[in-house]
Structure 1
Amino acid sequence: MGDTIRHIALSHVVLPLATAISDAKVFTGRQKPMTEVHFLFAEITTAEGHRGVGFSYAKRAGGPAQFAHAAQVAEGLLGEDPSDIGRLNTQLLWAGASVGRSGVAVQALAAFDVALWDLKAKRAGLALSKLIGPHRDAVSTYNTSGGFLNTPLPQVLENATASVEAGIGGIKIKVGHPDRTVDLQRLTAMREHLGDTFPLMVDANQQWDRATAIRMCRIFEEFNLVWIEEPLDAYDHEGHADLARAIHTPIATGEMLASVAEHVSLIDHRSCDYLQPDAPRVGGITQFLKVATLAEQAGLALAPHFAMEIHCHLAAAYPGVAWVEHFDWLDPLFNERMAIADGRMVVSDRPGLGVTLSDQMRAWTIATASFGEPA
C-alpha cells in the first residue's frame, strides 16, 4: 500500500489591496473598484508526512462560494493515493457534477489539484517545472499592476520605470476608457517613456463593442504593441477571430474562460495569437496542461493570467513563446519571492511550487475547515 491522503486543511483568506484599483469595467459602470482578493488555500498532508499547498482565488465575488464547495467535496480525497492526480481531479468533478464543470465549481477544485501537483513534485525532490518537463529556466515577464486606469499618468510612468529597473521585461497598461482620448494620451506617453522597441501591451478588459474594437485597434497599430488584450467580450470568439484577421497587432485573450471546453472553442475559432489561460480558473494544473497542449498544436503563444507563483512553472514547460504576468499583490501570502532578472522571471529550483505560507496569510484567514487526522 502506498502513501495516502491523511489530512486536508482549507483556508478562506481575504487579501486587502493597498489602493482600490479600477480598469475599464469600472469606468463603464459594470463593476465597482476592487479593494480585496479572496483566496482558497488547500493544504494536503499524507500518512508519510508529505505536504502540498495549492490555491485558487476570486476577485470581487465568489470567494465564499469556492470555500463552501471545496468543503463539501474535500472529504472524498481522504485515504486516496495523492499521486493519482488525474483520477482524483475527475473524482472531484463528479462529486460536484450537479453544479457543472465550469466557473466556481471547478475553481474550488483547483486548490486541491494545485496542492496535489505541489505534493507530487516535493516527493520527487523536484521543482514543479522540472516534474512536468521545462523548456527554459526563466520566462519573459511583464508587469500589469502599475498601469490601472485609476492611477494618474505620472504615477503610471514612475511605476513603469521602477519595474524596468527591477528587471521586468515588459509593461502592460489598461485601456478601454469611455473617452478614447484618455487611452491615446496614456498610451502615447508610455510609448515615448519606454522607447520605440521596449515590449508594451494594452488590455481593454472586454469593454469595446466590435465597431469600437476595430477602430481602436487600427489606431493602436502605430504603437508597436506585443498584443492587444481582451478587446471584446471574452466569449465573443467569432468577433475576436474577425479582429485578429483584420489587424497586424497580435490579439490576446482567454483569462476569463473557466473550462477546457471554453478554450477549445476559442482555439477552434482562431480567436487570438496569445492564449491566456488561468490555472485556478480552469480547475487547476491538470486542466491547464490540457489547454496548453491544444495551444501548442494551434501554434499559439502562451501568456497565463495572474498567479505567477503557479504560472511561472507552467510557462517554463511550454514549448512555444511564453510570457508570465508579474503581480506583486500575492507577495504577503508567501515567505518566498519570485526572482526577476534581465526581463525574465526565474523559475524557482525549490521543490514543488517553491513557496510556503506566511504568518500574514494566516492572519488574513477568515474561515477554516479540517478533514481527516492532522499529522
Structure 2
Amino acid sequence: METSMTPAAPAADRISRIRLSSVLLPLTTPISDAKVLTGVQAPMTEVALLFAEMSTAQGHEGIGFSYAKRAGGPGQYAHAREVAPALIGEDPNDIARLWNKLVWAGASVGRSGLATQAIAALDIALWDMKARRAGLPLAKLLGAHRDSVRCYNTSGGFLHAPVEEVLENATASLERGLGGIKIKVGQPDGAADLKRLEAVRTRIGDGVPLMVDANQQWDRPTALRLGRALEEFGLTWIEEPLDAYDAEGHAALAEALDTPVATGEMLAGVAEHVALIDARACDIIQPDAPRIGGVTQFLKLAALADHRKLQLAPHFAMEIHLHLAAAYPHEPWVEHFEWLEPLFHERLEIRDGRMHLSDRPGLGITLTDQARAWTRESCEIGSRG
C-alpha cells in the first residue's frame, strides 16, 4: 500500500489583532542643532512615537515603531489607523506582499513621507514577529555578518550644550565603551565650529573616530571652504553638509574632499536614496528604517548600497538599526542615542567600541509602564480571539 511522503502543509496563521499607540516622549533638555541656530526650526522638546503591537490567531506577537520629531506624530498615528485593518486575517509571514497592500490601502497620499513612516511601524512589527517565531534575533533571521557593530555617540554633542559639557559628554561616552564621537556644527560663525571641534579632538585624542554633522545648513561654497578646513582633524565623516536633496552638490563635495561625506537620514523613501546613489553623492549612506518604510524597504536599499560598496551608518533608532547594520556586508556604524531607553525594559550592551547583539529573539524589546503612561492615544484593530 502506497503512502504519500509529502508532509501536510501547515495551517497558515492569521493576524488577529493590532494595537496602535501614539506616545509622546519628553526630552529632559530642549535640543538644538544648526537648524535652530539658523532659525529654520525651534528647539526640540519631545519625540512622538507610533507603536504597533501585533498578535496572531496562533498566539505569536510582534512589536514595531516609527517616530517623528517636532511634527508628524499624530499624522502617522492617523494614517496607520486607517490602513492597519488591511492586515487583519492576513498571513503574517507574507511581509513583502503585505507592505504593498498597506501602500495601496493609502495610495492617494503617496509612497513616501508620512505614509510610509506609518507603514514602517507595522512592517517592523511583522519582522519582529517573524524573528521571534523562529527564536532568533532579527539580525540572525536576516543573515548576520557580525555579532556586534561599531557605535558612536551623537546625543552628547548638540549645539545647545556649551563646549565644556560636550567635552564631559565625550569622555563619559568613551568610558561607557562607545567607539566614536559625533558633534554638531553649522553655526553661523564657522570659526566657532572649528574652535569647538579642536577642543573635542584635543580631549579625545587623534585615535578616536570623530564625526561632524551640519544638519543641511551649509551652502555649497561654505561646505567646500569649511570642509577643507576640517581636513586636518582626520574626521571619519562630514554629515549632511548640504540640503538633503542636493545630490549634485553632495557629489561635487565628495569628489573635492578627502574626508568622506555622509547623508541620507532625512530622505523618506528608497527612490529618494537612489538619486543619491546614482549621483555618487556620498561615501556613507545613512538611511532610517522608520522613515523609509521599515525593514522591508531598508533591505532593498541595503542591497543597492552594497552593490556600490557604500559604507552604512543608519540614523537614530539603534534598537532597530543594530540588527540591520549587523546584516550589512561591509563594516557599518550604529548611532547611539539614549533618548528612547525609558520606553524599553531592555538595554543594549556596549563595550570595546561596539554595540553587541543579544540572544533575545526579534528586536529584543518590550515596552515599559512609562511608555504606557506617555501614551496619548491608542486603538485596537481586530480581536483577541
CA contact (8 A) 2:149 2:331 kept: no
- What's 2:283 paired with? 273
Runs of 4+ in 1 over 3 A off after TM superposition: none
Q: CA deviation at 1:181?
A: 1.6
Candidates 77, 80, 88, aligned match of 1:70? 80
- What's 1:54 paired with? 64
What amino acid is the match of 1:119?
M
For the pair 1:295 / 2:305, whether they are aligned, the reply is yes
- Per-residue CA deviation, residues 93-115 of structure 1 (Å, 9 max, x unaligned), is 00111000010010000000000
Candidates 127, 142, 153, aligned match of 1:132? 142
SS at match of 2:100: helix
What amino acid is the match of 2:70?
R
What amino acid is the match of 2:226?
M
- What's 2:8 paired with? none
Q: CA deviation at 1:321?
A: 2.3
CA distance in 2, matches of 1:91, 1:132: 22
Candidates 243, 248, 251, aligned match of 1:233? 243
SS at match of 2:265: coil
CA distance in 2, matches of 1:181, 1:238: 26
CA distance in 1, matches of 2:301, 2:359: 25
- What's 1:158 paired with? 168
Candidates 319, 330, 338, aligned match of 1:328? 338
- Per-residue CA deviation, residues 145-178 of structure 1 (Å, 9 max, x unaligned), is 0000010100000000000000000000000000
CA RMSD of aligned residues (A): 0.5
What amino acid is the match of 1:81?
D
Q: CA deviation at 1:349?
A: 1.4
What amino acid is the match of 1:359?
D
Candidates 39, 44, 52, aligned match of 1:34? 44
For the pair 1:96 / 2:87, whether they are aligned, the reply is no
- What's 1:203 paired with? 213
Candidates 258, 264, 284, aligned match of 2:294? 284
Q: Which ranges of structure 1 fall in alignment gaps of 5 or more residues?
A: none
- What's 1:351 paired with? 361
- What's 1:168 paired with? 178
Matches within 5 A, 1:217-232: 217-232=227-242
What amino acid is the match of 1:55?
F
- Per-residue CA deviation, residues 110-155 of structure 1 (Å, 9 max, x unaligned), is 0000000000000011100000000000000000000000101000
CA contact (8 A) 1:197 1:224 kept: no
- What's 2:326 paired with? 316
SS at match of 1:176: coil
CA distance in 2, matches of 1:137, 1:219: 37
- Per-residue CA deviation, residues 48-93 of structure 1 (Å, 9 max, x unaligned), is 1111000000000000000000000111100000000000000000
- What's 1:81 paired with? 91
What amino acid is the match of 2:384?
P
- What's 1:368 paired with? 378
Q: Which ranges of structure 2 fall in alignment gaps of 5 or more residues?
A: 1-10
Identical positions, percent: 68
- Per-residue CA deviation, residues 170-201 of structure 1 (Å, 9 max, x unaligned), is 00000000011210111000000011121000
CA distance in 2, matches of 1:348, 1:82: 24
Candidates 52, 55, 58, aligned match of 1:45? 55
Q: CA deviation at 1:374?
A: 2.1
Q: CA deviation at 1:348?
A: 1.9
- What's 1:4 paired with? 14
SS at match of 1:177: coil
CA distance in 2, matches of 1:3, 1:162: 47
What amino acid is the match of 2:194?
L
CA contact (8 A) 2:144 2:328 kept: yes
